[in-house]
A and B are shown apart, each in its own frame.
Chain A
Amino acid sequence: MTAASPPEILRAPLVVEFPFTRSLGPVQSAFLTGLREGVVLGVTTADGKVMVPPVEYDPVTAEEIRDLVEVGTTGTVTTWAWNGSPRPNQPLATPFAWVLVRLDGADTALLHALDAPGPEAVATGMRVRVRWAAERKGAITDIACFEPAGDGEPRDAQATPHSGEFADAVTGIVAEARLDYSYSPGRAQTAYIAGLSEQKTIGERCPSCHKVYVPPRGACPTCGVATTDRVEVGPAGTVTTYCIVNIKAKNLDIEVPYVYAHIALDGAGLALHGRIGGIPYDQVRMGLRVEPVWTEGGRYPDHYRPTGEPDADYDVYKELI
């Protein structure tokens, strides 16, 4: 088999989700618990600057900051950007403005969304107020968004000291994230996966050192060159080494103990791994000759079973261990 044009590029949805559980320090805990209670807290730095949202260390001096203050729920837009096409997960589903808002009593600005009818209704310097979420749980999204406030509304100009103590303080958040990708495996792996669909195992040979990589990734890691020459390997192979698995994996319907082995398929320059079946676990050995067993509709071998051939000589596979 030589370099043929690759099959149609494969593509599959790939979803990455990570609900990180994050703990909060005393300052972040007070701030997020405060939001739950409808109170916005900041911190005062050594030089008297009020930072909202609060940080735990002074960005200039790196000094620890713990002096909490309450600031107003109205404020002034310091800059903004009109988002005509909201993206998934953003605070509002209808067009809105991103805003940095300096709350009354604060010296720094908080990023959030502003619900406004259109960009003509937004300006730097405009007065806005917090719109609280209907249900609050101690997260930045407890502020649903900001909304325009009339210039006539009072300014709570002063930041006032606050203990930061609340009943049932929030001590952690779950920072959920989901990213959707469309994964394409590239030329070499596409050919490998396409081969599997015909129950064939396709490797690729390095033009320089002639080693056959399986599964192929398109490059020879020794020579650093593309492996373009496709080679069908197997189907039979030799167990080069193995281990006995005694721990039942979650969601895995295989009785323990079972054997997981490195298998050098005939013609391959390195071993891949697979489960060994069809033989008692304590009879698996190095040199055992095995072949793949495909299940109905399976997209890769379910396991490998003995072929019944005599064991391979150690010298034949010792380079592949």
Chain B
Amino acid sequence: MARYAREVAVVAFAQSDHLRRTDELSEVEMVMPVLHKVLAATGLKAGEIGFTCSGSSDYLAGRAFSFTMTLDGVGAWPPISESHVEMDGAWALYEAWVKIQTGEADTALVYSYGKSSPGSVRDVLTRQLDPYYVAPLWPDSVALAALQAQALIDAGETDEAGLAEIGARSRASAGANPHAQLSGAVAQGDYQVAPLRTGDCPPIGDGAAAVILAAGDVARRLCERPAWITGIDHRIEAHSLGLRDLTDSPSTRIAAEHAGVFESPVDTAELHAPFSSQEVVLRKALGLGGDVAVNPSGGALAANPMMAAGLIRIGEAAARIHRGESDRAVAHATSGPCLQQNLVAVLEGDRA
């Protein structure tokens, strides 16, 4: 644990069922049950949490400052220490982890959510692209992932059958995940943007997730087997797709090095790979062998609530450690087109 000043662990994780639409729920109505679940798992009350951090996107909601609405579900009176990132909740978790490292908090509530159903997420995501050279062309998220997939096929890293296997394996694994949006056999379907077919793409849906972090002995008190974050790092690459090698993810590799992934073997990898082709890139960057359980939850191909899917990867990895199914897991979250930005965390359970 010498890497950091303090020991910090994920002590609880909760998520919603991920659904194609949740018209009957406002965002706070969708988030609140998840907050209650994760608090109940530790017995902590909202007022006992040292720091709260959330992740979401106004572009998904179609409203400015939309995250302030979900604060109602937290219980922000009397005043709490709170922050927000306009990103996946994995980055909110990173901020909360830093807050605990500084000694300013011993516990943190991290949550994130996204409702993609009110808009057209493929179009909405074009607004995160370079506004001068790229966004005016409206290349949607599937198109950009398809460019990466073709580059992988051209490089001989995979083929369409290999990609289909990744989707099939993910949805088969999701059969054991009651929260997943897609599970079991899913037709590979027609090309969305070739070479990617429906089965290579994530479902579009609404959902939320929450995690509680705690330091040292607080973590030991709150959780029978805390999932210690023994390493965490995140890196970003140049935004221009044309100057990146789309078949590789150097940012993931560097983040993994700094997080200590390669110092000893992992048994589990929860990878935020919304497209089957991205799993190929991430496996290579993280050096994952066939003996590692990759996305036993089903991953983002089974449920991809925007802004929550990355935090869910950390939560799922932690939950496996809580349950004793993993001793050392790597969790990964991504943001931006073609794996532009990547966060890598190593989670470990105390050995018996």
Contact = CB atoms under 8 A, between A and B. Distances in A.
Given A124-B150, A224-B46, A82 B136 contact: no
B137 A87 contact: no
Interface string B117-155: 011101110010001111111111001101111110010
A42 to B, nearest CB: 11
B254 to A, nearest CB: 13
B242 A111 contact: yes
A301 to B, nearest CB: 23
Contacts of B288: none
B242 A223 contact: no
Interface of A: 6, 9, 11, 14, 16, 20, 22, 24, 28, 32, 51-53, 55, 59, 78-84, 87-91, 98, 100, 102, 108-113, 119, 124, 139-141, 173, 175, 177, 179-190, 217-226
B193 A112 contact: no
B23 A100 contact: no
Contact of A51 (B147, B154, B243): B243
Given A82-B191, A188-B29, A175 B136 contact: yes
B222 interface: no
A22 B137 contact: no
Contacts of B69: 217
Contacts of A28: 132
Contacts of A124: 150-151, 154
6 contacts: A22-B132, A81-B195, A90-B138, A98-B147, A140-B132, A189-B26
A28 B131 CA distance: 11
Contacts of A112: 137
A211 to B, nearest CB: 10
Given A179-B123, A181-B62, A55 B71 contact: no
A219 B243 contact: no
Nearest to B73: A219
Interface of B: 23-29, 32, 35-36, 46, 59, 62, 69, 71-77, 118-120, 122-124, 127, 131-140, 143-144, 146-151, 154, 191, 193-196, 238, 240-243, 246
Which label, helix, strand, loop or mixed, suits the secondary structure of the A interface?
Answer: mixed
Residue from the set B35, B72, B139 with the largest chain A CB neighbour count within 10 Å: B72
B147 A81 contact: yes
Given A9-B23, A51-B243, A22 B136 contact: no
A109 B147 CA distance: 12
B193 A221 contact: no
Nearest to A218: B29
B194 A221 contact: no
Given A112-B137, A141-B137, A184 B24 contact: yes
B138 A59 contact: no
A63 B136 CA distance: 27
Given A80-B147, A175-B135, A224 B32 contact: yes
A100 B137 contact: no
B32 A81 contact: no
Given A22-B132, A81-B146, A179-B120, 8 more contacts: A9-B23, A53-B242, A81-B194, A98-B147, A102-B242, A182-B119, A186-B29, A218-B29
A59 B137 CA distance: 23
A100 B36 CA distance: 47
Contacts of A181: 62, 118-119
A173 B136 CA distance: 10
Given A22-B132, A222-B75, A188 B242 contact: no
B147 A221 contact: no
A5 to B, nearest CB: 11
A53 B239 CA distance: 12
Nearest to B237: A59
Contact of A179 (B119, B137, B193): B119
